[in-house]
Amino acid sequence: MKKFTYLMLLIFIIGCNTNVNKEKNNDFFVEIFSDSDQKIVHVDSKIEIIADSLIVAEGPLWNKDMNSLLFTDVGANKIYKWNLESGLSDYMVPSGYTGYAPSFETGLIGANGLIYGNDGNLYLCQHGDRRVAKLINLEDGVPEFETVVDKYDGKVFNSPNDIVMDNNGDIYFTDPPYGFFNPQEGKFNNEFKELDFSGVYKFSNSGELTLISSDLSLPNGIVLSNDEKYLFVNNSDDNNPVITRYDVGDNFSSELFFDGTELLKDYGGGFDGLKVHSSGNIFSTGPGGVLVISPDGELISRINFGGGVTNCNFDADEQFLYVTGFGFVARVSLN
């Protein structure tokens, strides 16, 4: 089970109970490897815990209209909202499991990755319902969803995990098996599993579904470069901790972008979510916290959280990086 870092760290941090807005301690620090990163994150950047006592926080997404952060709790089947004025509150229940698809109901069945589409609607990767869905109504915190895509070759997805949309409205997403994990038993329940691989997909706005890759054992975070020429995908397997880059214009030909094998020997935590900064640098959760990687694949800094974290995202003006983890959500001030 060592390779399933994303899940095993749940046991370690599930009881985390740090104080909200607590400043960084000795386990939280920024390490700079290259001066090229000084324009984004500084060695003295402030790190704050803004939410705690969660199960598996994921899917951070900034809502500019509400001036708030939305994030999911995959274990609680819920989406939370946080802002500086009001603090933490429930935003949506349920988030990822409504009974739409056969699922292991006590597993990690909440929503995971979130995006706002070009149409302004909220799109969700739903572990329990095993689909990519669109929110079409939210009344008193109770959502109504519409299925975007839920099957490949007639078979229900595993548990769509992370998602990104390009300027054309085409959706890219990953589909590992984390929704089948039973935290109580510490193992996977494959009773409802229909696909024998974990896929990386493109769902075009015309309704065509394309399997980009079935080669990654645990595809997880996914993001496009700012010019949308490349697609980056994290693999969460400790036996192959890599970021793969796909050439969108060359029939998704792939190459190794970043290898985290050596980092994993020294630090805990595996590759999970990732986002691209306006500078083109990639912020990826990985061994040792959040890694900042240049467009050329050079590691230029590391934001240490004392263990594994799950995902990250920026606010509208990139003043803060918001980071979700196993039990907590934090934010890091940026230059």
Sequence-separated (6 or more) residues with CB below 8 Å from residue 278? 226, 318
**Domain 5-333 coded CATH 2.120.10.30:** yes
Q: Rounded to 5, what percent of the chain is helix, strand, coil?
A: 5, 45, 45
Nearest to 233 by CA among 209, 208, 216: 216
Cα of 326 vs its chain's centroid, Å: 12
pLDDT for position 267: 86
Asked whether 174 and 233 are in contact (CB, 8 A), the reply is: yes
Asked whether 19 and 48 are in contact (CB, 8 A), the reply is: no
pLDDT for position 22: 35
Residue labelled with tokens 């500078």: 279
pLDDT, mean of residues 46-60: 94
- In the numeric block, which tokens belong to residue 68? 């708030």
Q: What's phi and psi for 215, nearest 5 deg?
A: -85, -25
Using CB atoms within 10 Å of the CB of residue 197, give its burial: 0 to 12 exposed, 13 to 18 middle, 19+ buried.
middle
Give just the sign of the alpha carbon dihedral 90, 117, 7, 195: positive
| pLDDT of 328 above 60 | yes
Higher pLDDT, 2 or 222: 222
- pLDDT, averaged across the chain: 89
Summarised one tens digit per residue, pLDDT across range 261-290 is 999 988 878 899 999 999 999 999 999 899
- Looking at residue 237, the DSSP 8-state letter turns out to be B
Q: How confident is the model at residue 106 (pLDDT cuts 50, 70, 90)?
A: confident
pTM, 2 dp = 0.91
The pLDDT > 70 percentage for the chain reads 91
pLDDT for position 181: 85
pLDDT for position 334: 92
Q: How many Cβ atoms are within 10 Å of 320's Cβ, its own excluded? A: 20
Least confident residue range of 32-36, 208-212, 300-304, 307-311: 32-36
Q: How confident is the model at residue 38 (pLDDT cuts 50, 70, 90)?
A: low
Helices (H), the chain: 5-13, 261-266
Give just the sign of the alpha carbon dihedral 216, 222, 223, 229: positive
Using CB atoms within 10 Å of the CB of residue 225, give its burial: 0 to 12 exposed, 13 to 18 middle, 19+ buried.
middle
pLDDT for position 33: 79
Summarised one tens digit per residue, pLDDT across range 208-253 is 999 999 999 999 999 999 999 999 999 999 999 999 999 999 999 9
CA 195, CA 300: separation in Å to the nearest integer? 38
